[in-house]
Amino acid sequence: MKVLANDGIATSGVIALENAGFEVLLTTVAQDQLIKYINEKQIDVLLVRSATTVRKDIIDGCPSLKIIGRGGVGMDNIDVTYAREKGLKVINTPAASSHSVAELVFAHLFGMVRFLHVSNRNMPLEGDANFKGLKKAFAGGVELRGKTLGVLGFGRIGQATAKIALGLGMKVIAFDPFIDQVNLEVEFFDHQSLFFNIETISKEEVLAQADFITLHVPAQDKYVISKDEFEMMKKGAVIVNAARGGVVDEMALVDALESGQIASAALDVFENEPQPEVQLLMNPNLSLTPHIGAATAEAQSRIGTELADQIIEILK
């Protein structure tokens, strides 16, 4: 049986699949050539990440396909319901990248509270001529410890982010329409654990109380955060979106930054990927990364192994 990993797969996944007797193809096929390639090679399993879309044309046009796999959590680039109606298995790896995304959230938070996202731009330009001026400009940092983190969406990634916050000494509040409470286990290097019971509250309460807000929600039909939500937040709050592009109204975010309602914000995902709006790219109060939440060696290894295990279980 043949597996096409069109957007790549970690070596761990390749080895596991090949050891189980699968042929793994790592060719990156252009979207408009995908149907032809799959049919010529008689591909049984198509694995994608975010670069490749799997819509009805591929599902209908490739009768050899048995499994469509997404290396990651969100599957908005796959017509999941339609594929399953046609008898295909659709799999993903919801747990594999949780900690990597959570760490990226805190990379942004640590950077923003100490102005690293601005300092790293300005030091190469002015560090020799205006050292004292920059030192004064970036001297008003704050600590995360003792502050309140509001988590919108308290699934696997939201919970992983909360665990880091708790380890730092932050208070965690959360909203999730499908979860009432979670008993979080925070594990330490010496195998000790502490448990924290987090009861979810309303979205409005989270927005009003949190010093820092992080989103971990699936793609939506409308904005989760827009003008009204920004107005509910504490003046000077900070927000991070490492979930999906389109859950935050980006132009409303720019307005909130310019008015000072929001002190700073971080985006790893964008409404118009891969061409984010220039108003975002040029805003000095935004900390930006190019959709790299799951882009760690550890996460990709877990994703590869988890996909391979599911494929082997289904087809063997």
- 174-188 pLDDT per residue, tens: 999 999 999 999 999
For residue 99, indicate whether it is catalytic: no
Give the model's pLDDT for residue 150: 98
Q: Indicate the number of domains in the chain.
A: 2
Of 85, 187, 273, 313, catalytic? 273
- Ordered per-residue pLDDT tens for the chain, 316 residues: 999 999 999 999 999 999 999 999 999 999 999 999 999 999 999 999 989 999 999 999 999 999 999 998 889 899 999 999 999 999 999 889 999 999 999 999 999 999 999 999 999 999 999 999 999 999 999 999 999 999 999 999 999 999 999 999 999 999 999 999 999 999 999 999 999 999 999 999 999 999 999 999 998 899 999 999 999 999 999 999 999 999 999 999 999 999 999 999 999 999 999 999 999 999 999 999 999 999 999 999 999 999 999 999 999 8
Of 99, 244, 250, 306, catalytic? 244
Q: Do 172 and 254 belong to one domain?
A: yes
Distance from C-alpha of 33 to C-alpha of 37, rounded to nearest angstrom: 6
Q: Do 302 and 281 belong to one domain?
A: no
Q: Do 190 and 162 belong to one domain?
A: yes
User: What's the domain range around 237?
Assistant: 98-288
Torsion of CA 75, 78, 84, 87, to 10 degrees: -130
Give the model's pLDDT for residue 50: 86
Q: Do 117 and 46 belong to one domain?
A: no
Q: Do 137 and 48 belong to one domain?
A: no
> Alpha helix (H) ranges present in the chain?
11-19, 34-41, 56-61, 80-85, 98-113, 116-126, 131-137, 156-168, 203-209, 227-232, 250-259, 278-281, 297-315
Q: Do 221 and 86 belong to one domain?
A: no
Structure letter (DSSP) for residue 248: B
Share of the chain above pLDDT 90, in %: 96
- Global pTM value: 0.91
For residue 84, indicate whether it is catalytic: no
Q: Do 270 and 133 belong to one domain?
A: yes
Distance from C-alpha of 3 to C-alpha of 102, rounded to nearest angstrom: 30
Torsion of CA 106, 107, 109, 112, to 10 degrees: 180
Distance from C-alpha of 114 to C-alpha of 106, rounded to nearest angstrom: 12
Backbone angles phi, psi at 150, to 5 degrees: -100, 125
Q: Do 11 and 58 belong to one domain?
A: yes
Q: Do 165 and 255 belong to one domain?
A: yes
Q: Do 53 and 140 belong to one domain?
A: no
For residue 291, indicate whether it is catalytic: yes
Cis peptide leading into 94, omega within 30 of 0? no
Give the model's pLDDT for residue 73: 85
CATH of the domain at 301: 3.40.50.720
Q: Do 35 and 179 belong to one domain?
A: no
Distance from C-alpha of 232 to C-alpha of 262, rounded to nearest angstrom: 11
Please tell me the total number of residues recorded for the chain in this structure.
Answer: 316
Q: Do 75 and 125 belong to one domain?
A: no
Of 114, 277, 291, 298, catalytic? 291
